[in-house]
Amino acid sequence: MKGIAYLIGAGPGDPGLFTLKGKACVEAADVVIYDYLADEELLGWAPSDAELIYAGKQAGNHALTQDEINALLVNRVAAGHVVARLKGGDPLVFGRGGEEAMALRAAGLAFEIVPGVTSAIAAPAYAGIPVTQRAMATSFAVVTGHEDPTKETTGVNWKHIACGADTLTFVMGLGNLPDIAARLQEYGRDAATPAAVVRWGTKPEQQTVVGTLATIAQEVERAGLKPPGLLIVGDVVGLRPQLNWFEEKPLFGARVVVTRARKQAGALSRLLRQQGAYVMSVPAIRTVATDNHAEQDAVLHNLAPFDWVLFTSVNTVEYFAEALVRNGLDMRALAGKTVMAVGKKTAAGLAKAGIVADSVPANASAEGMLAVLEGVPMKGRKVLLPRAAEARELLPDTLREAGAEVTVLPVYRTEPELRGGHGERLAAALREGTVDVVTFTSASTVRNIVAMLGDDASLLRNVQLIAIGDITAAELHAYGLQEDGIAEEATIEALAEAVAVAYRKESDV
């Protein structure tokens, strides 16, 4: 197999600004090499068996040097791998993508460049600052701010840059801010020109400081802003009071931990980010297919006797469908059977697979399913219950007591997510006070997060805990923890709303 490297612009931070082509490349990758500025959600699109390699570079802290990154790319592509190289912003706008492409070309290897949204435009937009504006700014320039001010010569043509464009944006300029401001004034830019610094532009932890060219360095120091940050200089900064939109969202500034499996975390993360939250993904579980193929095959080739098939999760639908395909079947094998989905999401999963659920309880739980079945004669009925290997016995036990013949068919299991050092990362964030809310989407996420934290589990008492339902809340109680909110129904949308309600309540105190 011939290898190839995709040099992909990961965008400025908001994963919603990632391109469709970039997503397709990540989904096809054998290896993902990602930078400090690439959002973790992008990694969730990689195949489960893809090799994930961190190659981030921060000021004074490089995981890999640029030469080492070049060599790594050449090594993996030469070995025949498809490599997705995620670079913050656009790979060719101060991203050193050209160097990586030239290293691959010199080795005779294939590559493609996938442009991304550069922070030079996106960060000002998320701060309510347009880089151009009719009758105010008809030109803009993007300049590197990452130069050593003690150098005898500079790569920046300050004489022409200072007044050569209406709006100036300096990428990676926070460390050299006083020198940049001084140089611009030295070469003719008015000291009263409005200026702003945007830190972590487009991300929920975005911070914006406004001043003038004469005062911006002092304002940033007073605010305690640290890299990464973008400097904008020009009259357009004055439009921020009218155009600021992102920082006014209801969850802006809230730091929320999502504990769902990496593959499933995206939906909740997006809902929270839409309301302005900063999302930290700490996958507590992962789902894998069970290996009881003989048991599955025997049931799936003898579906005719079953009257009811009950699906208790979206995962069940997906793994059940995979088992059918493995046996040369599809969802048509359920023709003539009464199908129940535990809730709206599971029903949507069935619809996607070609099955319209005959029944969807209002209460998305085993109790809700039993409430619907309470008035249905079950004596002698044959019920198929595909599910996780470990689950509550309430549903099958109650149906058997009602006279039904229940076949429980494990099609997947959940495992603690032990890869990636997530427990240490969460513990550090809790100790540093950089977490406001932790969400739990099942009892197993509670158990696994507590196990991950070990002696640090008591730190969970210092933050808000939001549970998707009563069962999950009860699991918190078992560990001496108290929830601050419970979703009104067992859906991701209701969970996101519960986070918003609890956070607003805390903010109003």
**Which sign, positive or negative, has the C-alpha torsion 496, 502, 506, 509?**
positive
Which residues, in sequence order, are CB contacts of 174 under 8 Å at separation 6+? 145, 197, 199, 220, 225, 226, 227, 228, 229, 231
Give catalytic residue positions.
Answer: 35, 57, 172
What tokens were used for 148?
A: 């050593």
What tokens were used for 226?
A: 């640290």
Alpha-carbon distances of 441 from 238, 373, 410, 448, rounded to whole Å: 44, 25, 20, 12
Cβ–Cβ under 8 Å, residues 52 and 32? yes
Angle at 290 between CA 287 and CA 295, to 5 degrees: 150
As a whole number of angstroms, the distance between CA 235 and CA 458 comes to: 50
Long-range Cβ contact pairs of 419-424 (< 8 A, separation 24 or more): 420/283, 422/282, 422/283, 422/284, 422/452, 423/282, 423/452, 423/453, 423/454
Alpha-carbon distances of 287 from 264, 453, 479, rounded to whole Å: 10, 21, 24
Q: Give the CA count within 13 Å in the CB-facing half-sphere of 13.
A: 24
> Any bridge partners for residue 169, and if so which?
142, 232
As a whole number of angstroms, the distance between CA 304 and CA 296 comes to: 15
